[in-house]
Amino acid sequence: MTNNRLLPYLLIAPATVFLVLLFVVPLVQTIALAFMDNGVASLTNFRKMAGDLNFGLSIGNTFLLVLAVIPLQICMALVMAMMIQKMDKGRDLVLWIWIIPLGISDLAAGLVWLAILQDRGYVNTVLNMLGLVDGPVNWLSYEAPVSLFVGVVLAEVWRATAIVLVILVAGLQLIPKEYGEAAEIFGAGPWTRFRKITLPLLKPSIQSALILRTVLAFEVFAVVYALSGRNFPVLVGEAYAWQHVNQNNGVAAVYAILVMAISLAATVIYIRALRTPPEMQP
Amino acid sequence: MSGIRIDAIEKRFGAARALEQLTLDVEDGEFLALLGPSGCGKTTLLRIIAGLETQTSGRIFIGGRDVSALPPRERGLAMVFQNYAVFPHMTVYENVAFGLRMKGATAAEVNKQVERAAGLLHIEPYLERYPAKLSGGQRQRVAVARALAVQPAVLLMDEPLSNLDALLRLEMRSELKSVLNSSGTTTVYVTHDQTEAMGLADRIAVMHQGVIEQIDRPQALYERPATRFVGGFVGSPPMNFIDMPVKAGLARLGDFTNPVSTGRDTITAGIRAEDIAVVERGGLPFDVMVCEPLGATLLLTGRVAGQLARVAVRPDAVVAPGDRLNLEPSPGRIVWIDPANGKAIGQAA
């Protein structure tokens, strides 16, 4: 009896210990680091962060990136998922090809797009062959903020839309096809069926995808770093720079906490805004 | 005018034929049941009428209009699904109103029709609830109300009662019949339950392996099945089939004889369990194996010359397993079947 009662706790103990050691402890330490200066409680690190030239820029850039990438990814993944849903043959093959980017690390993805977009990259080669540009154009310099931003968005969309797609495809498969058929019988065209039936029933999956993607998007770093270095400052990039370039782990900790706070806030907003009341669940 | 004409409909899935050249007329206002075992093609036929499935060849007319190539929403019909397909994210009111809203009905018209349909199916108290809060029977009512709210010319129903428990099914059955009778809606109703088909339908089409075996009024189907399959599928217990040797135009088994017109030396007698009398002597020898008191009758299962047979006798009859009885079928009610092709003799089938 005693054994049986203890067993569940024993089984979850390794995971719990692991998480406490490698997640909770560093979290507490980070918070301590942020609020300390030379061993004394202080807000110096916060003041340093706020006074930095790149601070406003990195917040602006990160939000701009999230606002551009997330809606684009959700729309694209929705369209792709709906197209896959209509396929009979080759469905799995197409899905498989579409989710290949999932298997690539974000730094590698950034390097792939660097190879495409850098001044001697594929884009310039093609444009040159077509006679559209004379010589290499630097798309990723800080003097070309628009093309730099577009490049980062492209790379992020290419890299991370697949995870949204997988979540939405799984969600679509959970919706019984009779709902769509009933709507069709009772006069709804394809667009109306999508809006009035599919989208509301897919809401829980969209919510999961949004939370996951938004949290990860606020943590965007490697892709941006590969493409632009610090020409396009983002929050996690600044944390990295304060830690390793400026050797100031206090300010780096403040950045880390800021990113966490923003992610938490976004999650809370999504949970509130896209709530499906239990009585409306199938 | 909203009869349905099914003209040489054929459906193939790869090499397999689900439906073979089906032709069928459903009259305006008629209630037709498509009855058959699972896999006989009845649901496929219903879905083709609805436009949810595309026929390989053949045409569908509704009210004289060729709808073969039209999408479901342009066919002017309503449907009740087996698993109800009541939208979980809409209130009962919005579910019932769905078809009307899609047609662009005015708010007043929507309100009027929803109230009428809700009244017919007694779901007024739940109009503001979500379907998850309803029982299976209540959801079924919502699905029917949603279909009736649009006042369809044609109503299609796919095993609508099969997910309900037995008592509720009986209640919904009679209610459906009275609601549909008064609305005069042309109805095609798919079921594998022969009592449901018998009780509800004006006519029943019995389907088997992609073909219609027989279409007729329920009573005619029961009394004069055109094939052995129909006799065995319609009615509970199923019809008895007893093979008898034929000599000189006379079928003979035990002391029972009957003149028959067949060129073969064996014939199958299709006899209903209740069309058999127990007599003092003569007739068919019947060895009782099992007695089942069913309340209204006593059902005996046993063997006639080694062949399985069931006989319904009066509930107060004193019979025990191991008894031998003498059976006298009423000759006029026997269906004589050619054992080679399973078709009834002397019938245009």
CATH code at position A195 = 1.10.3720.10
Question: Token pair of B263, please?
Answer: 């060129």
pLDDT digit of tens for each residue in chain B (349 aa)? 589 999 999 999 888 889 999 999 999 999 999 999 998 999 999 999 999 999 999 999 999 999 999 999 999 899 999 999 999 999 999 999 999 999 999 999 999 999 999 998 889 999 999 999 899 889 999 999 999 999 998 999 999 888 888 888 888 888 888 888 888 899 999 999 999 999 999 999 999 999 999 999 999 999 999 999 999 999 989 999 999 999 888 899 988 988 888 888 999 999 999 999 999 888 899 999 999 999 999 999 999 989 999 999 999 999 999 999 999 999 889 999 999 999 998 753 3
Q: What is the DSSP letter of A197?
A: I
Question: Token pair of A279, please?
Answer: 């009585």
Residue with tokens 């009394």: B223
pLDDT value of position B212: 94
Give how many domains chain A has, as a whole number: 1
Report phi then psi at B135, rounded to 5. -80, 170
When CB atoms are compared, the residue of A183, A189, A281 closest to B88 is: A281
Give contacts of B 171-190 with A, CB under 8 A: none
Distance from C-alpha of B251 to C-alpha of B273, rounded to nearest angstrom = 19
Distance from C-alpha of B304 to C-alpha of B243, rounded to nearest angstrom = 10
Beta bridge partners of B214: B206
Contact A178 B81 (CB under 8 A): yes
Show Cβ contacts of residue B216 under 8 Å, excluding neighbours closer than 6 positions: B203, B204, B224, B226
User: Whose CA is closest to B292, among B323, B313, B270?
Assistant: B313
Question: Token pair of B314, please?
Answer: 């009066």
Q: Does the structure's ipTM exceed the value 0.90?
A: no
A182-200 confidence digits (pLDDT tens) = 999 999 999 999 999 999 9
Show Cβ contacts of residue A135 under 8 Å, excluding neighbours closer than 6 positions: A128
User: Is residue A2 assigned to a domain?
Assistant: no
Residue with tokens 């779901």: B123
Contact B85 A281 (CB under 8 A): no
Q: Does B264 touch chain A (CB under 8 A)?
A: no
SS3 B269: strand
CA A83 to chain CA centroid, nearest Å: 23
CB B18 within 8 A of CB B25: no
Is the N-terminal amide bond of B237 cis, ω within 30° of 0? yes
- Distance between the two ends of chain A, CA-based, in angstroms? 39
pLDDT value of position A171: 95
Q: Does B85 touch chain A (CB under 8 A)?
A: yes
When CB atoms are compared, the residue of B78, B87, B88 closest to A185 is: B78
Distance from C-alpha of B235 to C-alpha of B225, rounded to nearest angstrom = 10
Contact A186 B99 (CB under 8 A): yes
> What is the CATH class of B4-227?
alpha beta
Domain that holds residue A211: 15-280
When CB atoms are compared, the residue of A178, A200, A277 closest to B85 is: A178
Distance from C-alpha of A53 to C-alpha of A246, rounded to nearest angstrom = 14
When CB atoms are compared, the residue of B83, B85, B102 closest to A188 is: B102
CB B94 within 8 A of CB B114: no
User: Is residue A4 assigned to a domain?
Assistant: no
Contact B132 A184 (CB under 8 A): no
CB B88 within 8 A of CB A201: yes
User: Whose CA is closest to B44, among B77, B74, B67, B10?
Assistant: B10
CB A137 within 8 A of CB A118: no
SS3 A236: helix
A217-234 confidence digits (pLDDT tens) = 999 999 999 998 888 999
User: Is residue A160 assigned to a domain?
Assistant: yes
Give contacts of A 167-226 with B, CB under 8 A: 176, 178-179, 181-189, 192, 197, 200-201
Domain ranges of chain B: 4-227, 237-337
When CB atoms are compared, the residue of A185, A192, A200 closest to B72 is: A185
Contact A187 B103 (CB under 8 A): yes
Distance from C-alpha of B27 to C-alpha of B1, rounded to nearest angstrom = 9
CATH level 3 topology of B237-337: OB fold (Dihydrolipoamide Acetyltransferase, E2P) (2.40.50)
Where in A106-152 does DSSP place strands (E)? none
Nearest-CA distance B132 → chain A (Å): 6
Q: Does B134 touch chain A (CB under 8 A)?
A: no
Report phi then psi at B11, rounded to 5. -135, 125
SS3 B158: strand
